[in-house]
Amino acid sequence: MVVINKNKKIITGLLIAVLLLGSVYYYLDQTIVNKIHTKAELPMYSQVEQLEEEADVIAIVTPTGNQKNHMEYDAQGLPLWYWTESELIVNKVFSGDVKENESIVIYEPYATGSNKVIGKLEIVPEYYTKMNNSENYIVFLKQHEDGPYMIIGRDQGKVALQESNKQSLGLISEFSDLHQKILAKYAVK
């Protein structure tokens, strides 16, 4: 009897160890992401009026968290095209044909995905920081021919209103002056 209990304990211990290792592997498999930062060539804006001239919509918005990633690969399995459709709620409209409390979709220029060549990956272009859910932003949007909107000038046309987010979302050295002008003109007191 004693031998059987000892064997049961050893088998139970091994099963627990296998389950723990499997759980750790699953967690790491879900969290390890290769990050790819692409170079971007885009017009640089120094005045708010330049963004206003191009914008179809100027508004304060909040991302809802409803997103759909798109990533297309070339024949070698490398990322070719990528974007994320993100739903926003319009809080305040300064110009454009959208209404307050309306839900709109934008194409954010980043995506996450996976393939056999690279594994799990996230692609984010230069001059863009992903929007955080439940944060408020002033955005300058241009409507894409497919219907959704795109942020003009990537981070140039997007300013976080929360103090905690301003450093990570746009008040970087290249756009600091422009964002200060946008906040002075559009920030709700």
Domain range summary for the chain, segments of one domain joined by +: 1-32, 34-186
Token representation of residue 144: 């894409």
Tell me the per-residue pLDDT of 36-91, one tens digit each, with 9 for 90 and over.
Answer: 767 777 788 899 999 999 999 999 999 999 999 998 888 887 778 889 999 999 99
Task: State which of 30-39, 47-56, 176-185 shows the largest mean pLDDT.
Answer: 47-56
Is the domain spanning 34-186 CATH 3.40.50.10420? The answer is no
Q: What is the pLDDT of residues 108-136, one digit of tens each?
A: 998 888 877 778 888 888 878 889 987 99
Average pLDDT value for residue range 29-35? 60
Tokens 């297309």 belong to 72
Residue type at 126 in one-letter notation:
E
DSSP code string of the chain: -HHHHHHHHHHHHHHHHHHHHHHHHHHHHHH--EEEEE--------SHHHHHHH-SEEEEEEEEEEEEEEEEE-TTS-EEEEEEEEEEEEEEEEESS--TT-EEEEEES-EEEEETTTEEEEEEETT--PPPTT--EEEEEEE-TTSSEEETTGGGGEEE-SHHHHTTTT-STTTHHHHHHHHHHH---
Q: What is the pTM of this model?
A: 0.76
Position 156, amino acid: Q
Mean pLDDT over the full length of the chain = 81
Between CA 168 and CA 170 the distance in angstroms is 6
